[in-house]
Amino acid sequence: MMRTRPLKVALLGCGVVGSEVARIMTTHADDLAARIGAPVELAGVAVRRPSKVREGIPQDLVTTDATALVKRGDIDVVVEVIGGIEPARSLITTAFEHGASVVSANKALLAQDGAALHAAAGQHGKDLYYEAAVAGAIPLIRPLRESLAGDKVNRVLGIVNGTTNFILDKMDSTGAGYQEALDEATALGYAEADPTADVEGFDAAAKAAILAGIAFHTRVRLDDVYREGMTEVTAADFASAKNMGCTIKLLAICERAEDGRSVTARVHPAMIPLTHPLASVRGAYNAVFVESDASGQLMFYGPGAGGAPTASAVLGDLVAVCRNRLSGTTGPGESAYAALPVSGMGEVVTRYHISLDVADKPGVLAQVATVFAEHGVSIDTVRQQGKDGEASLVVVTHRASDAALGGTVEALRKLDTVRGVASIMRVEGE
């Protein structure tokens, strides 16, 4: 039997995502009520500009006093889609204190203060759900923390930022330079006027912290994630990648060490083989590849951003939280029992593609090979092209630690025959 008294929802933020959440709550009200077992009612919408006309939202629901809204005491669920650290953090903790569960899409806040927010939710016996914080509409958080709760996840490898994937895909498919591809992304609305958070990897790093924490049952903060942007990727890098049967993606990589005693989380551009499923992810789409003991390899794919896709994830969480509310239970909270140490980038082991500008004369290759050998880095392939006394030397290594590779490059720079290091890129996905 359906409960007639509605569950009341407070919406914090009514931008691209928030307006879609409100629209879906209104247009799909009957379906949502049937799925939950009670109607849901939009009880208030906190905004910064109350005078703006918001289609489908009665003006009497609009307020600029978000704190008063979450303190009302009759609110069952607070949906937070304002982003940023403050006032979002204070509003969420206040919501818990006044009896509401929370659905959030705030990746930056969760990556920085997820442990404290989970603790506050647990203290007050409330839910904290955040499927929309990573990869938009793609169901990923719930499968990791619920569907794979009985499995051991070893690696999460993914494209989690649509803007950067669009830019790199455009560079790959058309031969465009970075700035040209960024300009097109901006014109099409895929990139913000200030794209720094995307192209420098900050957005992906926050998502990597969240994914690593859930996958490895370990607290991973944003500061634990190695981050490298993709603004230095060139058309020449793509040409080299194609020669290797690869393409280039900005990847979030979270993995358990081979001995199982530590984890790493990192974001950086990398070459991946064209045969890898992530290589075929085009445009502004996202995809995440999960490797675990029992399930093997799983791939989650779909639109990773945008109003409607992100709102879909928010509404999925809203339904789950409302169901819990009706049954008097809460869903899974933080699982950090493993408490594994998070290793630095120096301990990461992978393959490398190094492009050197060298003198075109006998003995150069032997000198370079000697440096690699002295630092314990094994060479897989070498390609050299020369003209008029100058040459390009491309070295692809076998697996080596980042620390060993760093020492190798430092020594290479000291050789008289090495004019410069044109590029260094990791090779992943094999």
pLDDT tens per residue, range 317-355: 999 999 999 999 999 999 999 999 999 999 999 999 999
Predicted confidence (pLDDT) per residue in 94-123, tens digit: 999 999 999 999 999 999 999 999 999 999
Please state the rounded mean pLDDT for residues 277-303: 95
Secondary structure (DSSP) of 166-188: HHHHHHHHH---HHHHHHHHHHT
Q: Which of 332, 339, 338 is nearest to 121 (CA)?
A: 332
Pick from 376, 422, 312: which is nearest to 25 by CA?
312
Residue 25 three-state SS: helix
Enzyme catalytic residues: 207
- For 177-193, how does the pLDDT look when each residue is reduced to its tens digit (9 = 90+)? 999 999 999 998 888 88
pLDDT band at 388 (very low <50, low <70, confident <90, very high): low
Predicted pLDDT at 385: 77
Query: How far apart are alpha carbons 66 and 83 in whole angstroms?
Result: 14
Contacts of 346 (CB under 8 A, 6+ apart): 401, 402, 403, 406
Specify the pairing of strand 418-427 against strand 263-273. Answer: parallel
* Best CA proximity match to 284, nearest among 268, 259, 304: 304
**How does pLDDT run across 68-84, given as a tens digit for each residue?**
999 999 999 999 999 99
The pTM score is 0.94
In the chain, what are the helix, strand and coil shares in percent, each to the nearest 5?
40, 25, 35
DSSP-based three-state secondary structure for 243: helix
Q: Which amino acid is at 160?
A: V
Cis amide linkage into residue 362, ω under 30° from 0: no
Give the residue from 42, 10, 45 showing the smallest Cα distance to 29: 42
Sign of CA dihedral 216, 222, 226, 229: positive
How many other C-beta atoms can be found within 10 angstroms of the C-beta atom of residue 15?
A: 13
Q: Which residue, 100, 126, 128, 101, is CA-closest to 113?
A: 128
Contacts of 281-285 spanning 24+ positions with Cβ under 8 A? 281/159, 281/165, 281/249, 282/165, 282/169, 283/162, 283/165, 283/166, 283/169, 284/162, 284/163, 284/165, 284/166, 284/190, 285/159, 285/162, 285/165
Pairing of strands 285-292, 349-359: unpaired
| 158 vs 155: CA distance, rounded Å | 10
